[in-house]
Amino acid sequence: MAREFFGTDGIRGRVGEYPMTAQVVMKLGWAAGKVLASKGNREVLIGKDTRVSGYLFESALEAGLASAGINSRMLGPMPTPAVAYLTSTFRAAAGIVISASHNPFYDNGLKFFSTEGSKLPDDIELEIEAMMREEMTTVDSKDLGRARRVDDAAGRYIEFCKSTFPSSLRLDGMKIVVDSANGAAYQVARQVFDELGAQVVSVGADPNGMNINKDCGATAPDNLRAHVLLERADVGIALDGDGDRIIMVDHRGEIVDGDEILYVLAKARHTEGTLKGGVVGTLMSNLALEHAMNDLNIPFERASVGDRYVMELLRARGWELGGENSGHVICLDRVTTGDAIVAALAVLAVMRSTGDSLSRLRADMQLYPQVLVNVPSAKKVDLESNDQIQQAVKNAESELGDSGRILLRPSGTEPLVRVMVEGKVANDVEQICHSVAKVVGEALG
């Protein structure tokens, strides 16, 4: 069945425009409630980030769930991974996060988690889609759902995060800048690192409903870089608006992305003999990561772009470590989804146990230059069957050899084809990318 609402990461859109209206969200709450009630469990957790529209959709969602006979436990502002964790510990039927992640404040969305704390299975999403086509009804008054606040949600999550850090280690003497993107982790992130002994400089922790992700957080790491250098901190940690992405900055002010974080964690686990299987990246993971894993004899595989697909491949292989260069880092031995705070603690544990700076830990893997060109797509073209495009790709691959790669990928959200080229020589990469992009542009009209 064709999906109308659920994408690769839930439902997302501009506030006030379909599907992110109060009416549609209320019916989504009802549809999800009807499907979940049929499974027997009538408890759902609701968390949100700091967008001003969170109040609107929180009320609409709770009303829809109540009309289907589902009880809601309201968590308030809470990182996405916290909702996933708490859904599991409460044995709830589902957890719902009201968030548009790294998007601007005028967007919002819904993410659903299963009772195990992982993304909602496809068959449940399809059942909800089908229920949206039915007329909305209300259960008898005696069966209506109720809502109540979970007062200790933040404390529960903070203690969980701390439990993932080795009990033999502390962060005493370490100065850390934490940029919470004025988002869902603005309260809990600082407390986690502070309670483990670090001196914490907190930025991006003054949300006003409209400044989430604005010139701060994981999508704007220059803010973190400036504060790390100003404070002469040992390391900087930037989260995105819902707390599932992480970008770091070393003491020299150099940005450390998701690929480099994966390298640091994989190498440390490999050295300790604790790495289970291999590492999963995505089609966008830098080629340097793949080469570094090969040098260490660590299996490496690429999933489609999206943490959902990274998770699926990890589970299929029985591995535990994967992620995206954008900052989704998944440690399946500790969490059920991408968790920026837990990933940061994993890196800090390596720094503490080895005595090395983040700069030293990531020094042996130098990212290859990467150029990305977005080509507007006036019409839909089968990239695989277009002779001009395929010849351009073959020519590029021949020129790059084993030291580079090219990727053409239609955007899932915009009328664009993304042309990405990476390799060891920056000038060659840029020239090849624009050459291929020109051919793609001509083919797309």
For residues 62 and 132, state if they share a domain: yes
CA 353 to chain centroid, in Å, comes to 27
In a domain, 162, yes or no: no
Confidence of residue 388 (pLDDT cuts 50, 70, 90): very high
CA-wise closest residue to 112 among 129, 96, 128: 96
Q: How far apart are CA 396 and CA 170, in angstroms?
A: 49
Domain boundary among 303, 329, 361: 361
Q: Which residue has the higher pLDDT, 381 or 298?
A: 298
Residue 8 confidence (pLDDT): 77
- Give the residue-averaged pLDDT of 23-43: 96
For residues 337 and 276, state if they share a domain: yes
In a domain, 159, yes or no: no
In a domain, 161, yes or no: no
For residues 303 and 247, state if they share a domain: no
For residues 263 and 198, state if they share a domain: no
Contacts (Cβ under 8 Å, ≥6 apart) of 312: 303
In a domain, 6, yes or no: no
In a domain, 157, yes or no: no
For residues 134 and 22, state if they share a domain: yes
- Give the residue-averaged pLDDT of 224-231: 98
Residue 413 confidence (pLDDT): 61
Give the number of domains in the chain: 4
Place of tokens 């020589």: 425
For residues 407 and 276, state if they share a domain: no
For residues 117 and 196, state if they share a domain: no
For residues 383 and 402, state if they share a domain: yes
Residue 2 confidence (pLDDT): 67
In a domain, 379, yes or no: yes
- Give the residue-averaged pLDDT of 295-324: 96
Confidence of residue 136 (pLDDT cuts 50, 70, 90): very high
For residues 15 and 94, state if they share a domain: yes
Domain boundary among 120, 150, 180: 150
Q: How far apart are CA 370 and CA 106, in angstroms?
A: 30
Q: Could you tell me the CATH number of the domain that includes residue 269?
A: 3.40.120.10
Residue type, 12: R
In a domain, 158, yes or no: no
- Give the residue-averaged pLDDT of 72-96: 98
For residues 286 and 349, state if they share a domain: yes
For residues 294 and 223, state if they share a domain: no
For residues 206 and 142, state if they share a domain: no
Q: Are 78 and 152 in contact (CB under 8 A)?
A: no
Question: Domain range spanning residue 208?
Answer: 169-252
- Give the residue-averaged pLDDT of 283-309: 95
Domain boundary among 252, 276, 306: 252
Q: Could you tell me the CATH number of the domain that includes residue 404?
A: 3.30.310.50
Provide the token pair at 432.
């090849």
pTM comes to 0.94
Give percent of the chain with pLDDT exceeding 70: 99
Between strands 279-282 and 321-323, the pairing is: parallel
Residue 155 confidence (pLDDT): 98
CA-wise closest residue to 27 among 5, 51, 49, 53: 5
Catalytic residue numbers read 101
Q: Is the pLDDT of residue 1 over 60?
A: no
Q: Is the pLDDT of residue 89 over 60?
A: yes
Residue 428 confidence (pLDDT): 92
In a domain, 160, yes or no: no
Residue 147 confidence (pLDDT): 97
Residue 382 confidence (pLDDT): 81
Residue 200 confidence (pLDDT): 98
| 324-362 b/e (C-beta count within 10 Å ≥ 16 → b) | bbbbbbbbbebbbbbbbbbbbbbbbbbbbeeeeebeebb
Q: Is the pLDDT of residue 346 over 90?
A: yes
- Give the residue-averaged pLDDT of 328-348: 97
Confidence of residue 286 (pLDDT cuts 50, 70, 90): very high
Q: How far apart are CA 167 and CA 95, in angstroms?
A: 29
Residue 415 confidence (pLDDT): 80
Residue type, 403: S
- Give the residue-averaged pLDDT of 229-248: 98
Q: Is the pLDDT of residue 78 over 90?
A: yes
Task: Tell me the per-residue pLDDT of 259-285, one tens digit each, with 9 for 90 and over.
Answer: 999 999 999 999 999 999 999 999 999
Arithmetic mean of pLDDT over the chain: 95
Q: Is the pLDDT of residue 141 over 80?
A: yes
